Amino acid sequence: MIIDKLYESVSEKGVVCVGLDTSIEYIPENIIKKYMKISDSIFEFNRRIIDATYDISACFKIQIAYYEALGIDGLIAYKKTIQYIKSKGCLVIADIKKGDISKTAEMYAKAHLEGDFESDFITLSPYMGMDSIKPYLNYVREKEKGLFILIRTSNEGAHDIQYIKDYNNNPVYKTVGEKIKNLGSEYLGRYGYSSIGGVVGCTHSDEAKNIRESLNNLFFLIPGYGAQGGTAEDVARYLKHGNGGIVNSSRGILLAYKKHNMENEFDIYAREEVLSMREAINNAVKAYEG
C-alpha cells in the first residue's frame, strides 16, 4: 500500500516533507531574468530545490493554489514539478483540500489521482460529510493512492468550527478524527497505518498526546512547523518512535537563502534547512520518548 512506501521513506530519510508552495516572489531575480515564461522560472526553482533535498526528505507537498493563481503557466509548472518529483523516485502530496460530493468529487479524484496532475496522496476537507470522501476510496483500494483528511488544522481560525462541542460534548475535530480512523481501518498497511491519514497541525501541542493515542492507526501530515510557530518539541508529540507522520515546511525551506543573502545558492541553503530541521526533530523525539 502507498502508506507503507511513505512509512519506509520516513524510516530511511527522516520526517521532513518539503512544501513547494512556490510564490513567484520567492524566486531569485537571476532565474526570473533567465527564462521567458513564468512556468519555466518556477519549475527551475523547484527542480533545484528537489535535486538538493530529495535524498533527505520523506516526500514533497505541492500547494496547488500557488500555481492556479498564475493561470495556465502556473499549472504547466505544477504538472512538470509533479513529474520531476516522481522521476526522482519520490512521493508527491497534492495539497488541494477539496471537499464536495457526488459527481463533482469524482471529477476531483480523476483530476488529481490520474492524468496530468496525478499524485500519490491528496488532501481533502471532510466538512461536507463523509460522503464527500467516498468517491476517492476506489483509488485508495484499487490504484494505491492515499488521502490526508483535515482533522485539526494549525491556523488560529481552527477554533471557529473545529472546537465547537457536538452532541456528545466532544470537539468537532475529535468526532471527525474518529470517523476518519474508522474509515481508515479498512485500508491498513503492514506497519499498522492506514492509507487514509489525517492533517493535524502541530501548533496546538497541548492536545497532542490524546490525539496520537486515540488515532493510533492514522499517519499524520503535520503542518505548522517553523513559520507558523510550531517547534520540534511540538512535533515530537505527534510521532511514534520518529515515524507515523511527516512534518511539512514550505517557507522555512524555500526562503532559507534569504537569511544568508545568497540567492545564487538557494538550493544549498534549502538542503541545510532540511538537515537542521530533521536533526532538531530527531533530538526532540529522543528527549520526549526518553
142-183 pLDDT, tens digit per residue, is 999 999 999 988 787 777 878 888 888 888 889 999 999 999
* Cell numbers describing residue 52: 538538493
202, pLDDT greater than 80:
yes
51, pLDDT greater than 90:
yes
**Which residue type is seen at 131?**
D
Mean pLDDT of 238-243: 94
Active-site positions read 97
Mean pLDDT of 131-135: 96
141, pLDDT greater than 70:
yes
CB 75 within 8 A of CB 31: no
pTM, full prediction: 0.95
The answer to which of 140-144, 171-175, 205-209, 282-286 has the lowest mean pLDDT is 205-209
Mean pLDDT of 217-225: 94
Mean pLDDT for the chain? 94
Categorize the per-residue pLDDT at 218 as very low, low, confident or very high, splitting at 50, 70 and 90: very high
> Residue 277's Cα: distance from chain center in Å?
16
Nearest to 195 by CA among 210, 180, 209, 208: 180
What is the maximum span of the chain, computed from C-alpha positions, in angstroms? 59
Nearest to 151 by CA among 191, 182, 120, 188: 182
* Cell numbers describing residue 241: 518512535
Mean pLDDT of 257-264: 83
What share of the chain in percent tops pLDDT 90? Answer: 81
How far apart are alpha carbons 146 and 140 in whole angstroms?
6
Residue 87 burial (10 A CB sphere; 0-12, 13-18, 19+): exposed
CB 246 within 8 A of CB 13: no
- Strand extents, DSSP E, the chain: 16-19, 59-63, 92-98, 121-124, 146-152, 196-200, 220-222, 245-249
Categorize the per-residue pLDDT at 227 as very low, low, confident or very high, splitting at 50, 70 and 90: low
Give the pLDDT confidence of 70-127 residue by residue, as tens digits: 999 999 999 999 999 999 999 999 999 999 998 999 999 999 999 999 999 999 999 8
Residue 3 burial (10 A CB sphere; 0-12, 13-18, 19+): buried
- Confidence at residue 209, expressed as pLDDT on a 0 to 100 scale: 86
Query: By three-state DSSP, how is residue 160 classified?
Result: helix
If phi > 0 it is left, if psi is from -120 to 50 it is alpha, else beta; for residue 231 that is beta
Categorize the per-residue pLDDT at 262 as very low, low, confident or very high, splitting at 50, 70 and 90: confident
Rounded to 5°, angle at Cα 72 from 71 and 73: 95
> Residue 170's Cα: distance from chain center in Å?
26
Q: Please, what is the end-to-end C-alpha distance for the chain in angstroms?
A: 31
| All domains of the chain in start order, with CATH | 2-289 (3.20.20.70)
Mean pLDDT of 182-210: 92
What share of the chain in percent tops pLDDT 70? Answer: 100
265, pLDDT greater than 90:
yes
* Cell numbers describing residue 221: 501530515
- Confidence at residue 224, expressed as pLDDT on a 0 to 100 scale: 85
How far apart are alpha carbons 60 and 249 in whole angstroms?
10
250, pLDDT greater than 70:
yes
